[in-house]
């Protein structure tokens, strides 16, 4: 319990520092104030990858051990991954409209593949909602959790394989592709802050799922016992 | 009996069931051709435009109606059938392979009907090296069959199956659609189709590996 609150406090603090840095760095000569979107867009995209990797780990962990904790972890990761994928798409579209003059470009492999990734994990969450039995849900969603991750490398490397509107990765072996060091520091701080948000959310949701699981077992145990009937004539 | 023989027997059984029900032959295939017929009605009467959209429409109709084929009712064995196969000790991976093989054959048959219909209705010119489209079509059919079989198993018995299964299949098979459409365009322009062919090959391989590895655990879920 202490870890949950400590992580949440730390994440809130880191977010506050990240936002203040994002508000302070100078505007870009070309993009103006809209350059600040990078402080949300890049961490959100990174977090989506991290979260779906978490779903893969949780799914494979469930296959290996059949422990419900792995399933809860996979589900929590997918939930946060879907949220941050949607946020990444939305902020990307706003930034694209301002910088490229177009919010959505069908020729851009990164945009299209990110949208597909969102739909795959929406399907994952939809599948979980359709299954009441925890064992069934864990088994079937672990398959989709493992299968769905196939798209993650496609999304990540799409900017390298298909050169279109979206720029390649900001951090490359030959150095940063962003000129202003203030923007790099601010973006990295937000990246760390968002990662802490992910950790805090996953810890909370995993614990919540475990409590729900225990409650279901208690329900079942209670349902198996029926109270004796008093005062009924058995003849 | 080897696993391959078992897979072949399962495929034969699935095809026999399909022949009896006629679900694909008499419903899905004509419906797919009707869809190809409807699109030009919604477009302006412009023959060059139709010729340009013919090939992409072929792949879109194949993907959408292929999903119907892959998720057809007779593709999912009933519980008594599953119990019988389990009692016989049939390897889940062989069963998966057999079901994929049967669905692939139906999808290839669908393509055999769909391709001439596209050329006639859209007046799409055949690219010079059109023979290269055959392995592309075979790969797309196989990939769609693999992802459809997995989705059919994952959504088995769910009330929301009819909506949920396509939601899982469509985005997972999108790389196949993109690569197939790119291959057609490259062939029409006389370019290489190496990259789209590799995308199809790796997508099919990745899906098949996950399908075979998860066939066993998914089988357990029916118990």
pLDDT digits (tens, 9 = 90+) for B49-103: 888 888 899 999 999 999 999 988 776 777 788 888 888 888 889 999 999 999 9
Which three-class secondary structure state does DSSP give residue A176? strand
Mean pLDDT of chain B: 88
- The pLDDT of residue A217 is 57
pLDDT of residue A221: 54
Cα A191 to its chain centre, rounded Å, is 13
Neighbouring C-beta atoms of residue A191, cutoff 10 Å = 19
CA A179 remoteness from chain centre = 29
Closest chain A residue to B217, measured at CA = A139
Cβ distance B221 to A151 less than 8 Å, yes or no, reads no
**Pairs across A and B, CB distance < 8 A:** 71
Secondary structure letter of residue B26 according to DSSP: I
CA pair distance B156, B150, nearest whole angstrom: 10
Residue A194 pLDDT level (bands cut at 50, 70, 90) = very high
Best to test chain A binding among B154, B204, B213 (most A CBs inside 10 Å): B154
Contact A164, A105 (CB under 8 A): yes
pTM for this prediction = 0.82
Q: Which of B172, B177, B181, B198 to mutate to test the interface with A (most CBs of A within 10 A)?
A: B172
Is the pLDDT assigned to residue B223 strictly greater than 50?
A: no
| Residues A8-63 pLDDT 10s | 999 999 999 988 888 887 777 777 778 888 889 999 999 999 999 999 999 999 99
Task: Give the number of other Cβ atoms within 10 Å of residue A19's Cβ.
Answer: 17
Number of Cα atoms under 13 Å in the Cβ half of residue A125: 14
Span A177-199, mean pLDDT? Answer: 85
Give the up-direction half-sphere exposure of residue A44: CA atoms within 13 A in the CB hemisphere: 18
CB contact under 8 A, B150 and A148: no
**Cα gap A15→A22, rounded to integer Å:** 10
Least confident of A198-207, B49-58, B212-221: B212-221
Dihedral of alpha carbons A178, A183, A189, A192, sign: negative
- The rounded mean pLDDT for chain A is 84
Q: Taking CA atoms, what residue in B is nearest to A155? A: B175
Examine the pLDDT at A235 and tell me if it is beyond 50: no
How many of the other CB atoms lie within 10 Å of CB of A211? 11
Judged against a pLDDT cut of 60, whether residue A219 lies above it is answered with no
HSE value, Cβ hemisphere, 13 Å, CA-based, for B150: 32
Rounded CA separation B166/B148 (Å): 8
Task: Collect all residues of chain B within an 8 Å Cβ-Cβ radius of residue A150.
Answer: 172, 203, 206-207, 210
Predicted pLDDT at A56? 96
The C-alpha of A122 sits at a distance from chain B's nearest C-alpha, in angstroms, of: 8
Chain B: nearest CA to A95, how far in angstroms?
Answer: 25
What is the percent of chain B with per-residue pLDDT over 90, rounded to a whole number?
A: 37
Q: Smallest Cα–Cα separation from A112: which of A135, A95, A142, A89? A: A89
């Amino acid at each position: 319990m202490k870890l949950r609150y400590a992580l949440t406090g730390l994440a809130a603090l880191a977010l506050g520092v990240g936002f203040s840095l994002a508000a302070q760095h100078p505007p870009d000569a070309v993009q103006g104030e809209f350059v600040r979107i990078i402080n949300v867009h890049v961490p959100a995209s990174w977090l989506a990858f991290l979260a779906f990797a978490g779903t893969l780990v949780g799914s494979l962990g469930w296959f290996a051990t059949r422990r419900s904790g792995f399933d809860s972890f996979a589900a929590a990761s997918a939930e946060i991954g879907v949220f941050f994928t949607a946020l990444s798409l939305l902020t990307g579209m706003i930034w694209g409209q301002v910088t490229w003059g177009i919010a959505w470009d069908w020729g851009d492999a990164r945009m299209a593949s990110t949208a597909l990734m969102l739909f795959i994990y929406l399907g994952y969450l939809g599948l979980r909602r359709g299954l009441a039995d925890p064992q069934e849900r864990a088994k079937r969603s672990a398959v989709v959790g493992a299968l769905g991750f196939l798209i993650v490398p496609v999304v990540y490397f799409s900017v390298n394989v298909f050169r279109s509107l979206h720029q390649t990765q900001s951090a490359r072996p030959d150095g940063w592709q962003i000129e202003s060091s203030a923007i790099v520091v601010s973006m990295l701080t937000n990246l760390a802050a968002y990662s802490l948000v992910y950790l805090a959310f996953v810890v909370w949701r995993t614990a919540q799922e475990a409590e729900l699981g225990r409650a279901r077992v208690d329900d079942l145990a209670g349902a198996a016992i029926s109270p004796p009937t008093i005062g009924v004539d058995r003849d | 009996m080897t696993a391959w023989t078992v897979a072949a027997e399962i495929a034969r059984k699935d095809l026999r069931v399909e022949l009896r029900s006629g679900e694909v032959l008499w419903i899905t295939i004509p419906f797919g051709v009707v869809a190809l017929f409807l699109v030009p009605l919604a477009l302006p009467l412009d023959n060059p435009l139709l010729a340009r959209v013919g090939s992409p429409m072929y792949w879109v109709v194949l993907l959408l109606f292929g999903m119907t084929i892959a998720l057809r009712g007779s593709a999912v064995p009933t519980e008594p059938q599953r119990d019988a196969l389990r009692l016989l000790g049939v390897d889940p991976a062989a069963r998966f392979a057999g079901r994929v093989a049967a669905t692939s054959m139906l999808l290839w048959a669908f393509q055999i009907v769909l391709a001439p219909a596209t050329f006639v209705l859209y007046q799409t010119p055949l690219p010079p090296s059109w023979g290269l489209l055959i392995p592309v079509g075979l790969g797309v059919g196989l990939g769609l069959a693999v992802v459809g079989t997995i989705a059919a198993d994952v959504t088995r018995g769910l009330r929301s199956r009819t909506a949920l299964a396509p939601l899982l299949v469509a985005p997972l098979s999108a790389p196949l659609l993109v690569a197939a459409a790119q291959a057609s365009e490259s062939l029409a322009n006389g370019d290489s189709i190496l990259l789209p062919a590799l995308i199809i090959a790796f997508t099919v391989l990745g899906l098949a590996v996950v399908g075979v590895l998860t066939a066993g655990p998914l089988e357990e879920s029916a118990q």
